[in-house]
Amino acid sequence: MTNKRTPIRKAYSMLNLSKEFAANTSMHGLKFIAQDEASLPERILWIALFLVGLLFAVIFSWNLWQNWQESPVLITIQTANYPIKEYPFPTVTICSVNKVSTRALGHWMSTDEAKNFKLDEIRRILEIMSTNRVENEEEVARLSQLLLQANISSSNEGYENLMNRLSPNCSEMVIYCSWEGKEEDCAHLFDSEATDDGFCCSFNSIVIRRDANSMTNKRLRHARTSGVYAGLSVLLNAEIEDYNVTSSSISGFKVSIQDPKDFARTGRIGFLASPGFQIDAAVNGQTQIGNDQLRTIDLKKRLCTTTQEITLQYFDDYTGPYCQLDCLTTHFLANCFCVPYYYPVPARLPVCNLLSYPCLEKANELVVQNSSLCDCPDECTTVWYRNEISSGTFPNSVWEYPNSVLNRPEFQHLSTNYLDAYAKYLNLFQNRSLFLLKLLTHQTQKEFRQIKRLPQV
Ligand SMILES: *[C@@H]1O[C@H](CO)[C@@H](O)[C@H](O)[C@H]1NC(C)=O
Ligand SMILES: *[C@@H]1O[C@H](CO)[C@@H](O)[C@H](O)[C@H]1NC(C)=O
Ligand SMILES: *[C@@H]1O[C@H](CO)[C@@H](O)[C@H](O)[C@H]1NC(C)=O
Ligand SMILES: *[C@@H]1O[C@H](CO)[C@@H](O)[C@H](O)[C@H]1NC(C)=O
Ligand SMILES: *[C@@H]1O[C@H](CO)[C@@H](O)[C@H](O)[C@H]1NC(C)=O
């Protein structure tokens, strides 16, 4: 642009002004168009060139504008060395694939409550309750009649109590625990928690079963440093001989690692852990802070939600997994007027009896097929725990059982020699009652990211 101040006189024509502008502007080409000595073809050539240049400028600017319109979000990594102690250790949820223990069922069959049932009938009921898969509605009607006669009803927690009595409990599954290298009492570390795979055992969770809105005021554990010795290590007893009704065709456990305040979707996203292995789960936490200006961007473009933007019907705090649980709950209530007995929803909601299971199965299928039904964005400000799993055979020939394991009542009738021999000559023994799994969970580095609105171009 011109920076020479020219006194504006009345007589000064528009033409002269334009000429002056063309001669002094930094836009290339204009100078040659306006030159007095330029010939007509010369001028036409320069005008054409100028227009082509202008066209390209517009095209490139338009592309930039479009880009900004489509993804107006900027994600920056602040540090890959965020202090681990700032964030809680993740919740580790362990679900046995065995939902009914042969021992517990045998014991239950000898009680008064069981006098109406034949063994195959009660096993079928328990199978439906643990897998939610129904074959035909007449069978369900017949079985639900039996439950009613035995005074086991879905209201007043009848289903929950039955399942609790028959499923392997946490103290039988988790037989040795250590935290930061020191042995601790597993009963204090693991609680029974409601998950999408029924009741499971979880470490460092603040959610209690059946009523997600009443959190325990337990203090969450924080790891002090990273590495194998600074995390959780547990020994699990799969007790394959005790399998009676299972939710999956494998032997062992499903394990999920997630944010302590989230609903454990172990059935859906858990990894498999089989006996005879040591599984090492290295957890990498990622913290993301979303800034408030994100709210001004359309939700479809930023793909994450800010606080208090979406309110859930049955839960106070929004998280992606709770939103999905909320959506499923709403869906089940609308179609079947009840929710499965193990859902951690407010206690006032009706619990499904066996007759509603065909309906639950259909409603669930519908949600699986139509992803837009329960579409839940994650929060912009959130913590993720990603895990890297590695494994090796366990135990090796020199491993020694901890004393607390040797002294457990279920192993007392086995001699120390037997256990030692089991460890040392693993392949010689076909007795599968003592298949162990060692699960190590520890944190690695934490990444800290920021997500914010891009400045307008
Ligand atoms: C299930 O448990 C019952 C009672 O203990 C037992 O009689 C039955 O054989 C078991 N079935 C299987 C498949 O393990
Ligand atoms: C059924 O169970 C309820 C509570 O669980 C009890 O109050 C009631 O007396 C029982 N009825 C029979 C017939 O056992
Ligand atoms: C777990 O089961 C065992 C035997 O089946 C029983 O003795 C123990 O009390 C149960 N523990 C809990 C916490 O229910
Ligand atoms: C999925 O659900 C949405 C919302 O209820 C509905 O509009 C859409 O038609 C469904 N799509 C299919 C394929 O069922
Ligand atoms: C397998 O282990 C059980 C104890 O759980 C023991 O009673 C049984 O004798 C063992 N069987 C074999 C073949 O070693």
Could you tell me if residue 198 is left (phi over 0), alpha (psi between -120 and 50 degrees) or otherwise beta? left
69 HSE (CA, 13 A, CB side): 6
What mean pLDDT do residues 381-406 have? 81
pLDDT for 389: 87
CA pair distance 405, 155, nearest whole angstrom: 39
The percent of residues in the chain predicted with pLDDT above 70, rounded, is: 87
Please give the residue that has the higher pLDDT: either 65 or 435.
65
State yes or no: cis peptide before 321, omega within 30 of 0.
Answer: no
Angle subtended at Cα 57 by Cα 52 and Cα 58, rounded to the nearest 5 degrees: 100
**How does strand 378-379 pair with strand 304-305?**
parallel
Whose CA is closest to atom 7 on ligand 2? 151
pTM of the model: 0.80
The SS3 of residue 386 is strand
Q: Which of 31-45, 368-382, 422-436 has the lowest mean pLDDT?
A: 422-436
The alpha carbon of 120 and the centre of ligand 5 are apart by a number of angstroms equal to 26
> Does any ligand 5 atom lie closer than 6 A to the CB of residue 431?
yes
Please give the residue that has the higher pLDDT: either 286 or 313.
313
**pLDDT tens-place string over residues 50-99:** 999 999 999 999 998 888 877 788 888 888 777 777 778 889 999 999 99
pLDDT for 338: 94
Please give the residue that has the higher pLDDT: either 194 or 355.
355
422 HSE (CA, 13 A, CB side): 19
Q: CB 19: neighbour CB atoms within 10 A?
A: 17
pLDDT for 208: 57
Whose CA is closest to atom 5 on ligand 5? 433
Angle subtended at Cα 137 by Cα 132 and Cα 141, rounded to the nearest 5 degrees: 95
Residues with CB under 6 A from ligand 2: 151, 156
The SS3 of residue 364 is helix
DSSP assignment string, 200-235: EEEES----TT-TTS---PPPP--SS-SGGGSEEEE
DSSP state of 281: E
For residue 130, report the phi and psi dihedrals to the nearest 5 degrees: -90, -25
Q: Please, what's the largest Cα pairwise distance for the chain?
A: 117
The residues with which 280 forms a beta bridge, in sequence order, are: 390, 440
Whose CA is closest to atom 13 on ligand 1? 244
DSSP state of 396: -
**pLDDT tens-place string over residues 158-184:** 898 899 899 988 988 888 898 888 999
Nearest to 98 by CA among 132, 135, 140, 127: 127
Instruction: Using the atom order of ligand 4, give the atom closest to the CA of residue 366.
Output: 14
Confidence of residue 423 (pLDDT cuts 50, 70, 90): low
**pLDDT tens-place string over residues 312-339:** 998 888 889 999 999 999 999 999 999 9
CA pair distance 446, 287, nearest whole angstrom: 7
Residue from 331, 372, 374, 376 whose mutation best tests the ligand 4 pocket (most atoms within 8 A of CB): 372
CA pair distance 327, 367, nearest whole angstrom: 9
**pLDDT tens-place string over residues 178-229:** 888 899 999 888 988 888 888 899 998 886 555 444 455 678 888 888 777 7
Residues 6+ apart with CB under 8 A from 27: 50
**pLDDT tens-place string over residues 217-264:** 678 888 888 777 788 888 888 888 889 999 988 888 999 998 888 888
Length of the chain, in residues: 457
> Does any ligand 4 atom lie closer than 6 A to the CB of residue 370?
yes
- Give the number of the ligand closest to the Cα of residue 169: 3
Tokens encoding 187? 């009963």
Q: Is the pLDDT of residue 401 over 50?
A: yes
